[in-house]
Amino acid sequence: MARSSALQRKGDMARSRRWVVDDKSPRDLAGVVAAMGCEPEAIAHGRVFIGRKRATDAARRMRGGEVVEVFLATAPESKPAAILLGRRGGMVAMLKPAGMPTVPDHRGSTGSLQAAVAELEGLRDPDAVHPSSRLDLEVSGVVVFALDSKARTLLREAREQGSYTRHYVAISQQAPAPAQGLIELPIGRAPDPRRRCVGGKDPAASTTHYRVAAKTDRGALLAVEPITGRTHQIRVHLAHLGAPLLGDALYGGPRTIVQASGAVTSMSRVALHAAWVRIGLGDGETWTVQAPVPGELESLWQSVGGSAADWEDALRRR
């Protein structure tokens, strides 16, 4: 019989078990999961993968050589909850806290923002609601979901017509030069599968507008508007300019700040927040949704010498 093994991925606290299917294995996915000693609910929760693809059909027939991986349920952590920011037509705007995935990842669907919206709407299937953009795990801010096909069409057309604006605030290790500009550099896959890079494999055109709202000798407060929507786009572009974001160790940003007093400030998130979204509704009207700047980012900016008054400029429209 194929062996099942427990493992821990590098940099990932979620433990998993793997099973290589052979001629002695159960014939369907549910049987394999049971043989691995995992609870059957793992399939419904989205924690079962065949190769790199999530597997949701318990009756799926298995083929020899396939690798099944089940991520084990972890004890729930005390994290900020998602907050409803507003509704308009078939759209719902949510505040995603840092640490919550926008859509299900290998840990399953139950802790994602998408699942929270589905539950809010009384829907059993998280895939019934569609995020118009995705925020990285360690990033916070506004995410707008479409609840029906009409809303999906409206959001798609707003993007195509340039009437969908996403405004972020960020704190970088230093100010990029020049103090304002348009970054037009393609982004592709990096050798490290967790990262993206300028150029890279299969690069796609990527454009980001940025502006330095304030700066100190230990950091800079930025207003950022991505024109395109590539994975890690803002983080990659700013790091390429030599201005990685605080807390963004993946792209060279520091995870700790040492104060003049010797006190150390640690960061458990990336200093990036989607502060507001403005959507053209096609009838001459717009819908603007704002998410307050998290207190930890306000405190972080103050810890590098910034002023509370600086946020007003960072949040203004260009």
Instruction: Assess whether 136 carries a catalytic annotation.
Output: yes
Same domain, 269 and 192: yes
Are the beta carbons of 57 and 29 closer than 8 angstroms? yes
B/e letters for 161-174, b = 16+ CB within 10 Å, e = fewer, are eeebbbbbbbbbbe
Are residue 124 and residue 258 in the same domain, yes or no? yes
Residue 264 and residue 196 share a domain: yes
Do residue 254 and residue 122 come from a single domain? Answer: yes
Shared domain check, 229 and 106 = yes
| Lowest mean pLDDT across 73-77, 240-244, 285-289 | 73-77
Q: In terms of domains, do 100 and 169 share one? A: yes
Across 187-209, average pLDDT: 96
Q: Is residue 108 part of a domain?
A: yes
CATH number at residue 10: 3.10.290.10
Q: Which of 34, 51, 71 is the last residue of a domain?
A: 71
Sign of CA dihedral 76, 81, 87, 91: negative
What CATH number should be reported for the domain holding residue 132? Answer: 3.30.2350.10
Q: What is the model's pLDDT at position 295?
A: 95
| Domain co-membership, 181 together with 271 | yes
Do both 284 and 224 map to the same domain? Answer: yes
Q: How many Å apart are CA 248 and CA 123, to the nearest integer?
A: 35
What confidence category does residue 8 fall into, taking pLDDT thresholds of 50, 70 and 90? very low
Instruction: Encode pLDDT of 91-117 as tens digits.
Output: 999 999 999 999 987 555 568 999 999
Whether 10 shows a pLDDT value over 80: the answer reads: no
Distance of CA 279 to the CA centre of its chain: 20
8 A C-beta contact, residue 58 and residue 29: yes
Q: Are strands 91-96 and 187-189 parallel, antiparallel or unpaired?
A: unpaired
For residue 4, list its beta bridge partners. 19
Domain count across the chain = 2
> Domain range for residue 257?
83-315
The tokens of 304 are what?
Answer: 């590098």
Mean of pLDDT over the chain = 90
Say yes or no: 185 and 270 in one domain.
yes
Higher pLDDT, 64 or 37: 64
Q: Clarify whether residues 55 and 99 are in a common domain.
A: no
Which of 71, 101, 117 is the last residue in one of the domains? 71
What does the alpha-carbon distance between residue 311 and residue 134 come to, in Å, rounded to a whole number?
Answer: 24
Last residue of a domain, one of 71, 97, 125: 71
Question: Is 55 inside any structural domain?
Answer: yes
> Does 118 share its domain with 210?
yes
**pLDDT per residue as tens digits for the range 14-26:** 478 899 999 888 8
User: Ramachandran region of residue 113, left (φ > 0), alpha (ψ -120 to 50) or beta?
Assistant: alpha
Whole-angstrom Cα distance, residue 153 to residue 89? Answer: 12
Q: Is the pLDDT of residue 1 over 60?
A: no
Instruction: Please report the pLDDT score of residue 283 as a whole number.
Output: 81
β partners of residue 264: 258
In this structure, the answer to whether residues 93 and 51 fall within a common structural domain is: no
Which residues neighbour 219 within 8 Å (Cβ) at sequence distance 6 or greater?
A: 171, 172, 173, 174, 246, 301, 304, 305, 306
On whether the CB atoms of residues 112 and 125 are closer than 8 A, the answer is no
Is residue 76 included in any domain, yes or no? no
What's the whole-model pTM score? 0.77
What is the band of 47 on the pLDDT scale with cuts at 50, 70, 90?
A: confident
Residue 77 falls inside a structural domain = no
The CB-side HSE value for 108 (13 A sphere, CA atoms) comes to: 19
Q: Find the catalytic residue in 136, 148, 248, 310.
A: 136
